[in-house]
Amino acid sequence: MPSISTLDRIELDTQVTLLVGENGSGKSTFLESLAIATALPAVGSVRPSADPTLEPQRRLARRLALTWRGRTHRGFFLRAEDFFGFQKRIAEQRTEHESELRRIDQELAGASDYARTLAKGPHRASIGAMIDRYGEDPDARSHGEAFLNLFAQRLVPNGLYLLDEPEAALSPQSQLAFLKMVRNAVDSGSQLLIATHSPILMAVPGARILSFDELPVRPVSYEELDSVALVRDFLNAPERYLRMIWENEA
């Protein structure tokens, strides 16, 4: 992967750093390796350090030499593709606690109310915590709503957040809501590294944009980005692009 093989030194000293580039350019590989090297907790069904699909990233993580101005253990790593797995795991955990409540009712049918209440306490507390954090019925929310709620619930001051293509879960309107959360994170002293294809997210004020299409990887301006120019041109004249596609298909 050319962008990775030419990496030397990258300073990630802005509160928001955006990693951009075409599919296969290496931005997600670099972000995943950083997540492993920093040992951040992951929102997903499998931890990066144990995910069998991330062995190359673990090899790269072992080669990374990290220097910190201020180390934090707060924050998390999130790949949009893992979010479904996270939602599924939360649902499974709640189902397990509810099953335990039914088992206790059956096994302690002849016991006192106090004994049953005492036995049910940990499971009821766990269910209550899930409801407080994720709502009574997380499945009733759209994917985007659940994603925004998760980020809002887990956002803490002075955290480090590594996010891989969060726009995959978000409509354009929801991306604007997400930008507000990014602003809140910045105001609370947090740092975010975001790999993205979204021209909306690329527009974060004050962010450093690192292009993985460049060799070596280097900072670029928002106006330099081909993806921004392409989306702008398409929105100004969609019929021109669609005509070229349809004519080429004919």
Q: Whole-number mean pLDDT of the chain?
A: 86
Averaged pLDDT for residues 182-194:
95
Are 125 and 95 contained in the same domain?
A: yes
CATH number at residue 18: 3.40.50
Structural domains of the chain, count? 2
* pLDDT tens digits for range 70-79: 888 899 998 8
Are 106 and 168 contained in the same domain?
A: no
Most confident residue range from 42-51, 85-94, 151-160, 203-212: 203-212
Is it the case that residue 243 has pLDDT exceeding 70?
yes
Q: What distance in Å separates the CA atoms of residue 153 and residue 163, rounded to the nearest whole number? A: 15
Are 214 and 155 contained in the same domain?
A: yes
Averaged pLDDT for residues 121-128:
83
Domain that residue 228 falls in = 2-85+144-249
Query: Contact, 170 vs 144, CB < 8 A?
Result: yes
Is it the case that residue 250 has pLDDT exceeding 60?
no
Is it the case that residue 51 has pLDDT exceeding 70?
yes
* pLDDT tens digits for range 189-218: 999 999 999 999 999 999 999 999 988 999
Are 166 and 227 contained in the same domain?
A: yes
Q: What distance in Å separates the CA atoms of residue 54 and residue 60, rounded to the nearest whole number? A: 10
Residue 136: what pLDDT? Answer: 62
Are 174 and 111 contained in the same domain?
A: no
Are 200 and 162 contained in the same domain?
A: yes
Distances (CA, A) of 97 to 54, 122, 137, 240: 31, 9, 15, 56
Are 103 and 25 contained in the same domain?
A: no
Are 30 and 124 contained in the same domain?
A: no
Q: What distance in Å separates the CA atoms of residue 110 and residue 98, rounded to the nearest whole number? A: 20
Are 193 and 228 contained in the same domain?
A: yes
Are 15 and 67 contained in the same domain?
A: yes
Residue 90: what pLDDT? Answer: 66
